[in-house]
Structure 1
Amino acid sequence: MFNIEKYLEKFSKNIRNAELNKTKILEIIKKHTNLNLLPEEIEIKNYIAYIKSSPAVKNKLFIHKNKILEEISTSLSTKIIDIK
């Protein structure tokens, strides 16, 4: 018989993993730019981290983009190829 608890547990693990990745990405951004972003301001889709913030914040992220992406690739198992 199909056990729904095990089925739903798979989704629960994926959600927790995504939240941990967001938290780690935000820590890396803070380290390099000294910007305090909220988890709601970042969305990860198709290996791209989309930042929903002001143009001034996005400009600062763009300046430090290479360092941020390099550290993300070394510290996370999730692949992020760009920040927009």
Structure 2
Amino acid sequence: MANSQFDQFLQEATTRDPASDRSLGRNRLYGLYTSWCFLRQAAPGPEDDFWAAMKENQINPNRAGLRMKGPAAADYILASYPGLV
């Protein structure tokens, strides 16, 4: 069975860290997703579908333990803080 775009995003751009006391929050998680789509040259799915997929995967952006990883994380950070470049 093929993974959905949202499942691939979670596998490639996030990692769970149960020891972390920080959360990504809604804006950062969705921003990471759009960076991931940009790097893959893919159109982001509708935001409502994104949040439904996150709920299905038991991802709560306000709960601690989800972290960014990979090229999408770097792209998101650089796009969010242009003074770093």
Q: TM-score, normalised by structure 1?
A: 0.30
Q: TM-score, normalised by structure 2?
A: 0.30
Relative contact order higher in (CA < 8 Å, ≥ 6 apart): 2
For the pair shown, the structure with the greater C-alpha radius of gyration is 1
The structure with the largest helix share of the pair is 1
